[in-house]
Amino acid sequence: MTVSEKIFSKASGTPVKAGDFVLANIDLAMTHDITGPLAVQGFYEIMRDEEEKKVWDPSKIVIIFDHQVPADSINAAQNHIMLRKFSQEQGILNYDVYEGVCHQVLPEKGHVLPGDLIVGSDSHTCAYGSLGAFSTGIGSTDMAAVFATGKLWFRVPETFRFEVEGKLPKRVYSKDLILHLIGDVGVEGARYMAAEYAGSTIRSLSIPERMTMSNMAIEMGGKAGIIEADEVTEAYLKERVPGYKLDPYWKSDEGAKYLDVRHYDVSDLEPQIACPHNVDNVKPVSEVEGTKLDQIFMGSCTNGRFEDIKIMADIMGNEPVAKGLRLLVVPASKTEYMKLLKTGYIEKLMNAGAIIEAPCCGPCMGGSFGLLGPGEVGLATSNRNFKGREGSAESFVYLSSPATAGASALTGEITDPRKV
Q: Are 217 and 188 in contact (CB under 8 A)?
A: no
The CA distance from 152 to 148, in Å, is: 10
Is 364 annotated as belonging to a binding site?
yes
Q: Which contiguous run of DSSP H or E holds residue 155?
A: strand 151-155
Pick from 202, 141, 152: which is nearest to 177 by CA? 202
Q: Which amino acid is at 192?
A: Y
Dihedral of CA atoms 59, 331, 71, 398 in degrees, nearest 10, equals: -110
Is 275 annotated as belonging to a binding site?
no
Is 361 annotated as belonging to a binding site?
yes
Q: Which 3 state secondary structure label does DSSP give 162?
A: strand
Going by the DSSP 8-state scheme, the letter that residue 324 receives in this structure is T
Burial (CB count within 10 angstroms: exposed 0-12, middle 13-18, buried 19+), residue 351 = exposed
Report phi then psi at 77, rounded to 5: -60, -40
Report phi then psi at 384, rounded to 5: -140, 145
CA 411 to chain centre: 28
Q: Which 3 state secondary structure label does DSSP give 93?
A: strand
Across 206-309, the runs of DSSP E, i.e. the strands, are: 224-227, 260-265, 272-274, 282-284, 295-299
The CA distance from 411 to 394, in Å, is: 24
Q: Are 361 and 99 in contact (CB under 8 A)?
A: no
Whole-angstrom CA distances from 419 to 133, 168, 327, 412, 414 are 38, 17, 20, 14, 12
Give the torsion sign (CA, 134, 137, 138, 140). Answer: positive
Q: Which contiguous run of DSSP H or E holds residue 407?
A: helix 402-411
Q: Which 3 state secondary structure label does DSSP give 179?
A: helix
Q: Which residues are annotated as a binding site?
A: 301, 361, 364
Q: Which residues are annotated as a binding site for [4Fe-4S] cluster?
A: 301, 361, 364
